[in-house]
Amino acid sequence: MIFSTVGSELPFNRLTEAVDKYAQANSDVVISAQVGRIGPGDYSPQYIQFKQLLTPGEYAEYVDRAIVIVAHAGMGSIISAITQKKPVVILPRRGHLQETRNDHQFSTAKQFESREGIFVAWEECELPARMEEALHFSQSGSMNGVSDFANQDLLKKLESFLRS
């Protein structure tokens, strides 16, 4: 199963539509999606199962069951995917399209692009190719996980401040 998430209550039509089109073209692939609070004018998927919102528990369950995650470039989505050793395809929300307040997701994507298991689609047309790469990667063996906690430097310095 591929799990697609817009990461918040705000819909992300470019992502949801691209994933829906992918499902239409690849009927053998099962995709479950979280699409946000869709309103009038928002894209409503035809070819995938979807929910508007998920509880944290449901979210964790979908991540657990998925072989690949597709998400906006939010840190919550990225961190939960890679800590669970799931390859993740990210499409950044853009500031000039009013998908976020500023272009921070674009900068985030640039910084994380080189990490193992992270595949960036800079535009929605690149999404199918990145999804194929991620699916291929998921079959190639296990992904190196990351620690459940922040790096030791940060933890040590914080701790010593909290002991002062």
Partner 1 sequence: MCKRKKRILAVSSSGGHWVQLMRLRPAWDHCEAIYLTTERDYEQEVKRYNQEHDLQPSAFYLTVVASRWQKIKLLRQLLDIFLVIVRVRPDYIVSTGAAPGYIALRLGKMMGAKTIWVDSIANVEELSLSGQKIRNNADVCLSQWPEVASGSENENGNSVKYWGRVL
**Rounded least distance, CB 110 to partner 1, Å:** 7
162 forms part of the interface with partner 1 (CB under 8 A) = yes
Secondary structure class of 15 (helix, strand, coil) = helix
What is the DSSP-derived secondary structure letter of residue 101? S
55 forms part of the interface with partner 1 (CB under 8 A) = yes
In the complex with partner 1, which residue's Cβ is closer, 14 or 93?
93
Q: Quick check: 116 and 138 in contact, CB under 8 A?
A: no
13 forms part of the interface with partner 1 (CB under 8 A) = no
Q: Quick check: 91 and 14 in contact, CB under 8 A?
A: yes
79 forms part of the interface with partner 1 (CB under 8 A) = yes
Distance CA 102, CA 31 (A): 29
Q: What is the arrangement of strands in the sheet containing 88-91, beginning at the earlier edge strand? A: 49-51, 31-34, 2-5, 68-72, 88-91, 118-120
Give the pair of three-digit tokens for residue 28.
């053998």
150 forms part of the interface with partner 1 (CB under 8 A) = yes
Integer distance in angstroms from the first to the last C-alpha of the chain? Answer: 49
Binds partner 1 by CB under 8 A, chosen from 30, 32, 95, 104: 104
**Rounded least distance, CB 114 to partner 1, Å:** 13
Secondary structure class of 132 (helix, strand, coil) = helix
Binds partner 1 by CB under 8 A, chosen from 111, 113, 129, 136: 111
**Rounded least distance, CB 104 to partner 1, Å:** 5
Give contact residues for partner 1 (rule: CB under 8 A). 7-8, 55-57, 74-77, 79-80, 82, 104-105, 107-108, 110-111, 146, 148-159, 161-163
